[in-house]
């Protein structure tokens, strides 16, 4: 009984934190990842399973100007890509795009369509020719919101050192200004 | 005179030391930094093996290690045997362990003993693969990450650190810089002979054990001998055994010490020749009317006024005015350049990737913009620029327009 009471108190105490997180996600119009999603995307033998796409948006009431130039905190949302899929990202309030290799022991190579250079305030140029991400490495691209309508950027992902084009996996990031 | 040998007219004994040199050999990886815990000849093993220090199961690199021992290492001579390599951390993939492990083998062949970092006379750090002739081969990558993972151990080593990397490594300059900061030494090795010469210097300068009835001493030119006329050859005997008396070649020590102090070793450090920075890159400062206009232009993609920065003088002076939005770096010529920026601009750069602390290739077609979150007024930073085998550095000073000290 005592344990039940303690658990209830803990849940009660954590509710404000959940509420704050929901408010943040509501403000940026994105659905929070279900807790089970964390376990639902293990890194497998497929290169794309190791890639995480992270999107940084400003805090509610703030702008990318605040986040990028005043070093205000960013609210990050993580996405997992699937080969052949399209990931749609609204450009409004999109300040930072990050790509991360979540594999523990394999180097990933990522090649992004040149279209992204239009939106990138600055970027490692290797991103467009093939950038190697060692385990747990992240590359970040500060983004400017331009009226592009819809811009589809192809992303190729493969394990570093592979020689067969069959092992290259691709997906699309679709930037939408709305 | 060498212990157990005939008097040598080219050498003079100045001291005799009973203890062999103690070395720690670090094997950096992208996941951490291992140390060679032990390296023992095991003739009864069916094949050479590599394991974690606390395990008997072979690591995934064991097969490659066996091939290294039975192939190019065996080709150096001596009775064929098998070895057991034990590492303090697991290494599962890659080939960059080959150079440090080779270094460990060759150091032991000179009579050195393995020790922990705190107890070692020298701490050897190396990364890279080797070919069938034991020459460094391939592109040594992720040097910055490996240095980062080794930071604590190298800091503990301090001036005892000796860093070795293949001369072709794109980030070899980082190794030089790390050694400089530690007060240690670095070697950019092009061949197995370079590695052997480095070990002769490092182990022979302190103590040069004589082979008790072992192989004949080979004449090895010292770096000093290569830089002085007339050429002088100093006998550096190869080492056998663990408890031998160590002779230091007196006449060579002073010359060698001076040579090392001056960094005169011909295979160490940056090129003194090669193209200047101003011929490798074009540096421009991008400005707007004021800070607000600067931010507006960066966020909207509007063009900024570009003004060339002279790289003829050092430090290169850039007005650190609030209207300074970015620095644009473009490669001159058709060959890409490697950029490396130290971390003294931290806090002033926009979120995302910068070249701070790592190497960034830049071409003439695709310049790199270093976008400032706020003006770096009063700061100074060092920009490393490399192309081919040339490595240069230029200081950039962001002068305070008000004349205030940083």
CA-derived radius of gyration, chain B:
25
Shortest CA distance from A123: residue in chain B: B353
The mean pLDDT value for B251-257 works out to: 43
Q: Does A11 touch chain B (CB under 8 A)?
A: no
The reply to whether residue B299 touches residue A65, judged by beta carbons under 8 angstroms, is: yes
Quote the minimal CA–CA distance from A18 to chain B in Å: 27
Least confident of A7-11, B232-236, B249-253: B232-236
Q: Exposed, middle or buried, B61 (CB in 10 Å: 0-12/13-18/19+)?
A: buried
Interface A:B, Cβ pairs < 8 A: 80
The mean pLDDT value for B295-309 works out to: 93
Reading the block at residue A153, the tokens are 């950027």
Tell me which DSSP letter residue A143 carries.
B
For an interface test with A, give the residue of B92, B96, B299 to mutate (most A CBs within 10 A).
B299
pLDDT tens digits, one per residue of A46-74: 999 999 999 999 999 999 999 999 989 99
Instruction: Quote the CA–CA distance of B63 and B49 in Å, as a whole number.
Output: 7
Which residues of chain A does B145 touch, with a Cβ-Cβ cutoff of 8 Å? 134, 137
pLDDT tens digits, one per residue of A81-122: 899 999 999 999 999 999 999 998 889 999 999 999 999 999
Quote the minimal CA–CA distance from B353 to chain A in Å: 5
The reply to whether residue A121 touches residue B93, judged by beta carbons under 8 angstroms, is: no
What is chain A's length?
Answer: 178
Long-range Cβ contacts of A68-74 (<8 Å, 24+ apart) = A68/A95, A68/A96, A68/A121, A68/A142, A68/B299, A68/B350, A68/B351, A68/B373, A69/B295, A69/B350, A69/B373, A69/B374, A70/B373, A71/B347, A71/B351, A71/B373, A74/B351
Quote the minimal CA–CA distance from B17 to chain A in Å: 45
Q: How far does Cα B83 stand from its chain's mean position?
A: 27
What sign results for the dihedral spanned by CA atoms A56, B346, B391, B370? positive
Burial B44-58 (b: 16+ CB within 10 A, else e): eeeebbbbbeeeeeb
Q: Does A161 touch chain B (CB under 8 A)?
A: no
Q: Does A145 touch chain B (CB under 8 A)?
A: yes
Residue bearing the bigger pLDDT, B354 or B11: B354
Average pLDDT, chain B: 76
| H runs (alpha helix) in B250-290 | 250-262, 277-280
pLDDT band at B127 (very low <50, low <70, confident <90, very high): very high
By Cβ distance, the residue of A68, A134, A135 closest to B350 is A68
Instruction: Quote the CA–CA distance of B97 and B107 in Å, as a whole number.
Output: 15
pLDDT tens digits, one per residue of B128-162: 988 888 988 876 778 888 898 898 899 999 999 99
pLDDT of B16 strictly over 50: no
Shortest CA distance from B90: residue in chain A: A105
Contact status, residue B125 vs residue B162, Cβ threshold 8 Å: yes
Cα separation values, B2 from A54, B9, B17, B18, B387, Å: 66, 11, 12, 14, 46
What sign results for the dihedral spanned by CA atoms B346, B352, B357, B362? negative
So what's the pLDDT on residue B354?
62
Distance between first and last Cα of chain B: 59
pLDDT band at B333 (very low <50, low <70, confident <90, very high): confident
Which residues of chain A does B352 touch, with a Cβ-Cβ cutoff of 8 Å? 96, 121-123, 140-142
Residue bearing the bigger pLDDT, B227 or B260: B260
Q: How far does Cα B130 stand from its chain's mean position?
A: 16
- Biggest CA pair distance of chain B: 81
Which residues of chain A does B363 touch, with a Cβ-Cβ cutoff of 8 Å? 125
Which residues of chain B does A145 touch, with a Cβ-Cβ cutoff of 8 Å? 299
The SS3 call for residue B196 is helix
So what's the pLDDT on residue A3?
53
Which residues of chain A does B370 touch, with a Cβ-Cβ cutoff of 8 Å? 122
Distance between first and last Cα of chain A: 52
Q: Which of B200, B199, B205, B203 is nearest to B248 (CA)?
A: B205
Quote the minimal CA–CA distance from A32 to chain B in Å: 24
Cβ neighbours of residue A91 closer than 8 Å, sequence gap 6 or more: A119, A143, A145, A146, A148, A175, A176, A177, A178
Task: Give the DSSP H or E segment for A27.
Answer: helix A2-27
pLDDT band at B216 (very low <50, low <70, confident <90, very high): very low
> Which residues on neighbouring strands pair with residue A175, listed in sequence order?
A89, A151
Q: Does A18 touch chain B (CB under 8 A)?
A: no
Quote the minimal CA–CA distance from B336 to chain A in Å: 11
Q: Does A139 touch chain B (CB under 8 A)?
A: yes
pLDDT tens digits, one per residue of A121-173: 998 888 998 898 988 889 999 999 999 999 999 999 999 887 778 889 999 99
- B→A interface, C-beta within 8 Å: 30-31, 92-93, 141-142, 145, 295, 298-301, 326, 347, 350-354, 360-363, 366, 368-371, 373-374
pLDDT of B225 strictly over 80: no
So what's the pLDDT on residue B64?
87
Give me the DSSP letters along B137-181. Answer: ES----HHHHHHHTHHHHHHHGGGEEEEEETT-TTHHHHHHHHHH
For an interface test with A, give the residue of B353, B356, B372 to mutate (most A CBs within 10 A).
B353
Reading the block at residue A171, the tokens are 């997906």
Which residues of chain A does B32 touch, with a Cβ-Cβ cutoff of 8 Å? none
Shortest CA distance from A93: residue in chain B: B299
The reply to whether residue B360 touches residue A124, judged by beta carbons under 8 angstroms, is: yes
Quote the minimal CA–CA distance from B274 to chain A in Å: 26
CA-derived radius of gyration, chain A:
18
Quote the minimal CA–CA distance from A120 to chain B in Å: 9
Which residues of chain A does B146 touch, with a Cβ-Cβ cutoff of 8 Å? none
Cα separation values, A38 from A33, A78, B10, B278, B337, Å: 8, 10, 70, 50, 41
Reading the block at residue B391, the tokens are 């490595």
- pTM recorded for the entire structure: 0.51
Contact status, residue B210 vs residue B5, Cβ threshold 8 Å: yes
Least confident of A52-56, A69-73, B199-203, B328-332: B199-203
Pairing of strands A96-101, A108-112: unpaired
Q: Which of B343, B336, B286, B300 is nearest to B144 (CA)?
A: B343
Give me the DSSP letters along B288-344. Answer: -SSHHHHHHHHHHT---EEEE---SSSSEEEE--TTEEEEEEEE-SSS-EEEEE-GG
Cβ neighbours of residue B140 closer than 8 Å, sequence gap 6 or more: B96, B127, B128, B129, B165, B166, B168, B169, B170, B171, B172
Q: What is the ipTM of this complex?
A: 0.75
Cβ neighbours of residue B267 closer than 8 Å, sequence gap 6 or more: B167, B187, B188, B189, B190, B194, B197, B198
């Amino acid at each position: 009984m005592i344990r039940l009471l303690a658990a209830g108190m803990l849940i009660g105490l954590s509710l404000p934190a959940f509420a704050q997180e929901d408010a943040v996600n509501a403000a940026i119009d994105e659905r929070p990842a279900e807790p089970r999603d964390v376990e639902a995307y293990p890194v497998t033998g497929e290169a794309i399973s190791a890639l995480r796409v992270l999107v940084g948006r400003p805090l509610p009431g703030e702008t990318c100007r605040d986040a990028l130039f005043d070093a205000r905190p960013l609210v990050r949302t993580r996405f997992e890509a699937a080969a052949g899929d399209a990931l749609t990202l609204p450009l409004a309030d999109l300040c930072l795009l990050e790509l991360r290799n979540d594999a523990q022991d394999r180097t990933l190579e990522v090649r992004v369509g040149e279209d992204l250079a239009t939106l990138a305030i600055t970027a490692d140029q290797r991103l467009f020719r093939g950038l190697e991400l060692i385990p747990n490495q992240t590359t970040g691209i500060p983004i400017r919101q331009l009226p592009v309508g819809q811009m589809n950027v192809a992303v190729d992902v493969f394990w570093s050192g592979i020689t067969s084009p069959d092992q290259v996996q691709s997906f699309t990031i679709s930037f939408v200004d709305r | 005179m060498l212990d157990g040998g005939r008097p040598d007219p080219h050498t003079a004994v100045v001291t005799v030391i009973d203890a062999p040199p103690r070395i720690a050999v670090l094997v950096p990886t992208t996941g951490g930094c291992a140390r060679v815990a032990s390296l023992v000849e095991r003739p009864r093993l069916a094949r050479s093996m590599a394991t974690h220090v606390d395990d008997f199961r072979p690591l995934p690199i064991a097969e490659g290690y066996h091939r290294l021992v039975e192939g190019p290492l065996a080709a150096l001579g001596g009775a064929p045997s098998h070895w057991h390599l034990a590492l303090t951390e697991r290494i599962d993939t890659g080939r960059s362990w080959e150079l440090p492990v080779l270094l460990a083998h060759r150091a032991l062949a000179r009579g050195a003993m393995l020790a922990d970092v705190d107890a070692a006379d020298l701490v050897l750090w190396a990364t890279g693969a080797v070919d069938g002739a034991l020459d460094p081969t391939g592109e040594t990558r992720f040097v910055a990450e490996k240095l980062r993972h080794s930071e604590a151990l190298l800091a503990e080593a301090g001036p005892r650190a000796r860093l070795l990397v293949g001369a072709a490594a794109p980030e070899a300059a980082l190794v030089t810089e790390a050694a400089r900061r530690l007060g240690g030494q670095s070697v950019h090795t092009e061949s197995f002979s370079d590695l052997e010469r480095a070990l002769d210097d490092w182990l022979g300068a302190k103590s040069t054990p004589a082979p008790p009835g072992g192989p004949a001493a080979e004449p090895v030119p010292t770096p000093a001998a290569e830089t002085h006329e007339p050429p002088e050859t100093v006998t550096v005997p190869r080492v056998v055994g663990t408890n031998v008396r160590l002779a230091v070649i007196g006449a060579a020590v002073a010359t060698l010490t001076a040579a090392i102090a001056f960094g005169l070793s011909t295979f160490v450090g940056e090129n003194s020749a090669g193209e200047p920075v101003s011929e490798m890159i074009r540096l421009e400062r991008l400005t707007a009317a004021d800070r607000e206009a600067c931010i507006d232009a960066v966020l909207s993609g509007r063009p900024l006024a570009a003004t060339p920065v002279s790289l003829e003088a050092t430090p290169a002076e850039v007005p650190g005015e609030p209207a300074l939005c970015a620095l644009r770096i473009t490669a001159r010529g058709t060959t890409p350049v490697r950029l490396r920026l130290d971390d003294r601009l931290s806090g002033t750069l926009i979120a995302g990737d910068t070249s701070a602390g790592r190497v960034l290739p830049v071409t003439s077609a695709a310049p790199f913009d270093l976008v400032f979150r706020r003006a770096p007024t009063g700061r100074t930073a060092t920009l490393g620029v490399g192309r081919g085998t040339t490595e240069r550095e230029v200081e950039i000073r962001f002068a305070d327009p008000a004349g205030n000290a940083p």
